[in-house]
Homo-oligomer: A and B are copies of this chain.
């Protein structure tokens, strides 16, 4: 395999293990075994485990950019409906994983924020990416008259993303999608109130 291909293979396998077990609880040897790469060659691709971990977050950032582009930016669909579908897509994704693992970005944020500045900066990038994408939807909805012009879209986007992250943790705990459904319901019932003409939103 070329250098880049091997590096990506290690990142992908490592990402799966870290998602399931956490960063500190995942040994380098497990990652290399899963990626079928000789143990000694790890340092050819990464400076150290932290450098590798940050590359995993970068990998997720790329994935999230693609998902955000595909769903939150989808033209021809009203902005708040896009947000609603985005939540549904994630709910289905979590169901396909038997409600295990949760959000890799939220997990690493909680596990690593106190312990690595490099992780903290990279995870902050991922958070900003998501809240910016949500805010773009809210602003579009505002410009179309679906949300009050006085709404602070920055705070609202942050609140939506953080509340969703909190709901994901509860989902993992109770092994039920109910917390996700409650989160979405509360958002659309109280905050993202749709005007009557937007009643096609899937709740």
Contact = CB atoms under 8 A, between A and B. Distances in A.
Nearest to A166: B166
Task: Count the copies.
Answer: 2
A182 B64 CA distance: 24
Interface string A98-139: 001110001101110111000010011001000000000000
A109 B158 contact: no
Contact of A106 (B110, B175, B190): B110
B114 A155 contact: no
Interface of A: 20-22, 24-25, 100-102, 106-107, 109-111, 113-115, 120, 123-124, 127, 155-156, 158-159, 161-167, 169-170, 172-175, 179, 182-183, 185-186, 190-191
Closest 10 CB pairs of A and B: A166-B166, A163-B163, A162-B166, A165-B166, A24-B25, A159-B186, A113-B172, A109-B173, A113-B173, A190-B190
